[in-house]
Structure 1
Amino acid sequence: MITKFTDRIYYMPNDDKTDRPLLGLICGDKDSLVVDAGNSPAHANEFLMEVSKLDIPPLKYLVLTHWHWDHVFGIETMNLITVCNNKTKEKLDIMQKLSWDDLMLDERVGKGEEIEFCSKMIKLEMPDRDGFKTGNADIIFKENLEIDLGAIHCTIDNIGGCHSEDSTVIFIPEEKTLFLGDCICEDIYSGEWSYSRDKLLPMINKIKKYDASYYLTSHHHPESKEEFFDYLNDLIRIGNFVGNECSKNEVIERYTQFYGKAPNEDEICNIYSFIHGNLKDRA
């Protein structure tokens, strides 16, 4: 189902069952732009079918927030002018050479080239992958790009962070809306899921500079500025509290003493993520 978010913006919500991300739709006077391609041809087709029911300008562009499978497997099905960062393009070139059958997926997991979580979700979302090939991009940018859709502009910026160095955000100033992809998530591809303060905190500072009122991340519901900034500030608080510490028990004990209560489940997850980042830095 497509949800109308503002006068010019729609989105299809994420679905955790097979790790489907939120897909965005931005409508100008002349053209419309899609944010992310979906995690399968089926996902992309469902989105396109819902869009076909809307009275909007024709779809023209597809912008990728980063290279991870759940955001790019629907490129060919979308069949739009695909836009991405040059680092995303490098990954797409590699992915086009890969086979996605169970045997090759399992082999890449065994070699540490793919992670078990993604392999499991790919198999659930796409049980039949015979002959499946990933798509590629048409327009490549290095740092930023602006697309005029007619009365609506999309500012597209490579913002980096922990999750993926090609993480890209799409800002629509007329609607004060920012699509963030997965940029505030952990690094999930190098061992234990982790945050690096050296990467995360500068990226958060960049995010806070956008004059946005609404924030859409790929695997969560849309949030207001107040809600989203509360989350960012809590992430900063946890990261600064952990500091350079590498002992989970010591951090949790110190946290409990300092705040007079034990950390909740989300706080523990973030504490562990920052500790894992510290351990990687020391390795």
Structure 2
Amino acid sequence: MVELVHLSGRVWLYPHDPDPEAVRPSVAVIADDRGSVLVDAGNSPVHATEVQQAIAAAGLPAPTILVYTHHHWDHTWGASAWENVEVIAHTAAVDLLEAEAKRPWSHQYLRDQVAENPRLGPSFRARALAMPGWDGFEVIVPHRTFEDTLTLPTGVQLRHVGGNHAPDSLVVLDPESGVMLLGDCFYPPPFHLRTDSDGMDFGMVKRLLAERHAWYVDAHSPPRGSPDSET
């Protein structure tokens, strides 16, 4: 079983899968005696269940808040496996996830969509790999949203940054631990929407690094320590 990795302070990570075809991002847990905040839901109920087992094995409290860094499937499809959590996201995520929730998800639907648009292939093959079955699956729309910033009762800070990857992208900052969780905020658009001119948003990267947090964590890479951090 994969275990949670302690990063700093009260931040723990369930590591991403380095296989790019798996599209399995890291999931973060920010936990102390005030409770646990989960950052991203996992790419499927199976993934979410593995994270739940790792949280229990680490002796951390079960999450009561689940934050979506953005609406993409690999960050939200595990949400139906999380019980008794309040799901929080940026306002722009609501319409996007409501549209996703109306789709007739199944392996046949995935095949049909790829046949119509082959550029969907990498993403939709990864979805098929993540979902051995569809019983009980649903796309969970956020219970609470915000526009610019939101500070949770545990002191965790959420900030909308947008960007080309997803309009609802937000970053999650735990000042007590010196950790900023980035999701995919500086990535180019998804493959099926990407043009030859699209690339990483290095302007956004530069602005976030200028804040000089001790750790920066995007969802598909190992954590990066800030070399000039004072934290």
TM-score with structure 2 setting the length? 0.87
Matching of residues 45-84 of structure 1 within 5 Å: 45-79=49-83, 80-84=85-89
- Match of 1:124, SS state, is helix
96, 108, 114: which is aligned to 1:109?
114
| Aligned residue number for residue 92 of structure 2 | 87
Please give the alpha-carbon distance, in whole angstroms, between the structure 2 residues aligned to 1:47 and 1:125. 14
Letter in 2 for 1:203: M
1:167 aligns with 2:169: yes
The offset of 1:193, in angstroms, is 6.3
Structure 1 residues 66, 164: CA separation in 2 closer, same or farther (over 3 Å shift)? same
- Report sequence identity in percent: 27
Structure 1 residues 113, 100: CA separation in 2 closer, same or farther (over 3 Å shift)? farther
Structure 2: 5+ residue stretches without partners: none
24, 27, 30: which is aligned to 2:28?
24
The offset of 1:115, in angstroms, is 1.6
Contact 1:38-1:73 within 8 A present in 2 as well: yes
Please give the alpha-carbon distance, in whole angstroms, between the structure 1 residues aligned to 2:116 and 2:197. 20
| Aligned residue number for residue 190 of structure 1 | 193
The offset of 1:126, in angstroms, is 1.3
The offset of 1:62, in angstroms, is 0.5
Structure 1 residues 193, 88: CA separation in 2 closer, same or farther (over 3 Å shift)? farther
Please give the alpha-carbon distance, in whole angstroms, between the structure 2 residues aligned to 1:148 and 1:202. 31
| Aligned residue number for residue 221 of structure 2 | 220
Please give the alpha-carbon distance, in whole angstroms, between the structure 1 residues aligned to 2:75 and 2:24. 8
Please give the alpha-carbon distance, in whole angstroms, between the structure 2 residues aligned to 1:103 and 1:143. 39
Matching of residues 110-129 of structure 1 within 5 Å: 110-112=115-117, 115-129=120-134
The offset of 1:160, in angstroms, is 1.3
Structure (1 or 2) with the greater strand fraction: 2
Structure 1 residues 141, 181: CA separation in 2 closer, same or farther (over 3 Å shift)? same
The offset of 1:156, in angstroms, is 0.5
Contact 2:4-2:58 within 8 A present in 1 as well: no
Structure (1 or 2) with the greater helix fraction: 1
Which has the higher Rg, Structure 1 or Structure 2?
1
The offset of 1:48, in angstroms, is 0.3
| Aligned residue number for residue 211 of structure 2 | 210
1:223-244 alpha-carbon deviations (Å, 9 max, x no partner):
11139xxxxxxxxxxxxxxxxx
Structure 1: 5+ residue stretches without partners: 228-283
Task: Between 29-38 and 50-59, report the one with greater CA deviation.
Answer: 50-59
1:46-76 alpha-carbon deviations (Å, 9 max, x no partner):
0001101233344211000111110000111
1:151-209 alpha-carbon deviations (Å, 9 max, x no partner):
xx211111112211111110111111000001121112414465268xx3542343134
Please give the alpha-carbon distance, in whole angstroms, between the structure 1 residues aligned to 2:165 and 2:227. 23
The offset of 1:141, in angstroms, is 0.8
